Structure 1
Amino acid sequence: MPNNLPPLAVTGATGALGGMVAQLLAEQGIPLRLLARHTARVPQQPDTPTFAVSYADKEHAERALRGTQTLFMVSAAENPYRAQDQRTFVDAAVDAGVRHIVYTSFMGASENDVFTLGRDHWDTEQYIRERGLEFTFLRDAFYQDILPSFVGRDGVIRGPAGDGRFAPVARTDVARAAARILADPVPHARRTYTLTGPQTLSMSEVAEILSRVTGQHITYYAESLDEAVESRLAAGASQWQALAWATSYAAIATGEMDRVSDDIAELTGTAPVSLEDYLRSDGKSSS
């Protein structure tokens, strides 16, 4: 493999976040290499090498990362083995000589996180630390663009969020923050940023906003945690999926998501967009 490859690598290049970050960096003229599970879907950019990589395949990942100094590591797709796959990928990065990982984590990630998948993010954060790498952790709130998918066919959002509040963030704002860090990563080493939208909302308020924007009548029904798990299992989800879905709402109910951070504005110089403005913008269709 040539040793003159760009020292910056971006994973998830075919995904919404990785793709946006890659585009923002390319627009600045920053050389980079793109990693994705399926390179055929990677947007073609001049003089930009691409590599097919699975987080679970250490050998191929290590080859793709050789010569990389800074790695933007988008968290893997949700699956029961994500924590272990991400450890394997971190091992590949270490063996390839990567010095700094910028990792997309989740707000409030901890060993005993109510949100089961938040525990995976905490595990990956800790493993990156243990392996001696420089790191920057981006602890994202829930993405604004996924909220419309929470609405059932009957126009009801169901989940055990209670009256808890959270500050959903536009993926475009996360991408702007990540690109700013990756363009000059050294000042951000050993930093953890919490990336949120500009306001906290209850799930009932989310339903009201979606109603205004779509013209549909959308409401929220607060399930119990047991009800939420059972309904998801009845819809065909596996046990780990049902728990992940239900506990994502439960994390809101406990109050651990009830926080607005200024990190996006401080990193980019521009305040994050509100949920309603995001949904009404052209960005809705592109994300």
Structure 2
Amino acid sequence: AYWCAPFDPKSLEAAKLFAEAAEAARLEQIVGLSQWLASPQHPSLLTRDTYAADRLFEGLAPRIAYTAINPGFFADNYLRLIGFAAQLGVLPSLTGDSRNAPPSNEDIARVAVAALSDPAAHAGQRYRPTGPTLLSTADMARIIGSVLRRQVRRVEMPMWLFLKAARMQGANAFELSGFRYYVIDHKQGAFERGAPNDVVERLTGRPAEDFATIAKRYAELPEARRTFGSVLRAWVDFMRTPMMPGFDFRRLDREWGQTLPAPRFAMADPQWAATHGGAVASASRSTGVGRPALA
């Protein structure tokens, strides 16, 4: 069975119920969507709960095998902003010049299917799918511009403004609460570490999709179709975003129990850094994995 945690402060409780159901059904294997960042000291509650869920599922062995798929920042996290690029010629960025080799949703799914198709071969393993090339958001803007056949430039956006824009697009508070921290991990180089790799090709027999290939699919979405009306709406939305309400994360963090006395981001966590030098590690050797909040 495939496990994908909900964006909810009670995701660990959901994982416990899933584990109980898996044992009752006498499953042979669980393949879980985990996180490249996951550790018990990360400031994101979802990331800490993902770490705990990994340990929970690993503890089901040998009755039930566990395989973790632990991508970093998905390509979708950048390309969900393609409407800005298509209508206004800008790609909002929060991550400066830091780089990532972002995988497509489709490649992540193909890796999961490969693991599910042969439980014995993948039992106890942890796989991090990546894209084929390390890119900054400036690189991505150039690629998106080529796909859209217009000039697109990267524009650094302050986090407070991004959070308001994301809320306008329907992102929920818990989803965004973790995203605030993943951007800092990105800037510190956590997603560049161990990337790119050959996990997608090795498990699926097909090379990982490059960013241009992924961007072409997003360019077919309605929000990427440029008309007079769509450009006007984009400008109106852009101008009113600073006046829209945000989230009170201090209050929400207290309600969710998110705050830790001494949290550590991935690259500042010796335990995480010691076990995340490469793409794949045996479950018995690795102690942390991670998934971005917006996936």
For the aligned pair, the TM-score class normalised by the smaller chain equals 0.5 to 0.7
Query: Tell me, which stretches of 5 or more residues in structure 1 are unaligned?
Result: 1-70
| Match 2:35 to one of 106, 113, 118 | 106
| Cα displacement string for residues 22-75 of structure 1 (whole angstroms, at most 9, x for unaligned residues) | xxxxxxxxxxxxxxxxxxxxxxxxxxxxxxxxxxxxxxxxxxxxxxxxx122x1
- 1:122 partnered with 2:51: yes
Query: Tell me, which stretches of 5 or more residues in structure 2 are unaligned?
Result: 222-295
| Match 2:198 to one of 240, 259, 262 | 262
Is the contact made by 2:99 and 2:189 (CA closer than 8 Å) also made in structure 1?
yes
Q: Residue 275 of structure 1: CA displacement?
A: 0.8
Is the contact made by 1:135 and 1:189 (CA closer than 8 Å) also made in structure 2?
yes
Q: Residue 179 of structure 1: CA displacement?
A: 2.1
Q: Residue 227 of structure 1: CA displacement?
A: 6.1
Q: Equivalents in 1 of 2:146, 2:126: separation in Å?
A: 35
Q: 2:92 maps to which residue?
A: 158
Is the contact made by 2:147 and 2:219 (CA closer than 8 Å) also made in structure 1?
no
Supply the AA of the counterpart residue of 1:123: A
Supply the AA of the counterpart residue of 2:215: L
Supply the AA of the counterpart residue of 1:265: E
Identical amino acids, percent of aligned pairs: 23
Number of equivalent positions: 214
Q: Equivalents in 1 of 2:116, 2:171: separation in Å?
A: 37
Is the contact made by 2:103 and 2:129 (CA closer than 8 Å) also made in structure 1?
yes
- 1:242 partnered with 2:169: no
Instruction: For residue 169 of structure 1, give the secondary structure of its aligned residue in structure 2.
Output: coil
Is the contact made by 2:73 and 2:191 (CA closer than 8 Å) also made in structure 1?
no
Q: 1:276 maps to which residue?
A: 212
Is the contact made by 2:9 and 2:45 (CA closer than 8 Å) also made in structure 1?
no
Q: Equivalents in 1 of 2:166, 2:104: separation in Å?
A: 26
Q: Equivalents in 2 of 1:173, 1:238: separation in Å?
A: 25
CA pair 282-238 structure 1, distance change in 2 beyond 3 A: closer
Q: Equivalents in 2 of 1:102, 1:254: separation in Å?
A: 29
Normalising by structure 1, report the TM-score.
Answer: 0.63
Supply the AA of the counterpart residue of 1:198: P
Q: Residue 167 of structure 1: CA displacement?
A: 1.1
| Match 1:138 to one of 54, 69, 73 | 69
Q: Residue 98 of structure 1: CA displacement?
A: 1.9
Q: 2:102 maps to which residue?
A: 168
Aligned Cα RMSD in Å? 3.1
CA pair 211-117 structure 1, distance change in 2 beyond 3 A: farther
Supply the AA of the counterpart residue of 1:172: E
Is the contact made by 1:116 and 1:247 (CA closer than 8 Å) also made in structure 2?
no
Q: Residue 283 of structure 1: CA displacement?
A: 11
- Within a 5 Å distance, the mapping from 1:179-258 to structure 2 comes to 179-223=113-157, 228=162, 239-258=173-192
CA pair 156-121 structure 1, distance change in 2 beyond 3 A: farther
Instruction: For residue 79 of structure 1, give the secondary structure of its aligned residue in structure 2.
Output: coil
Normalising by structure 2, report the TM-score.
Answer: 0.62
| Match 1:148 to one of 79, 96, 104 | 79
CA pair 140-235 structure 1, distance change in 2 beyond 3 A: closer
CA pair 281-157 structure 1, distance change in 2 beyond 3 A: closer
Instruction: For residue 273 of structure 1, give the secondary structure of its aligned residue in structure 2.
Output: coil
Q: Equivalents in 1 of 2:115, 2:146: separation in Å?
A: 35
CA pair 185-236 structure 1, distance change in 2 beyond 3 A: closer
- 1:78 partnered with 2:7: yes
Instruction: For residue 80 of structure 2, give the secondary structure of its aligned residue in structure 1.
Output: helix
Supply the AA of the counterpart residue of 2:216: R
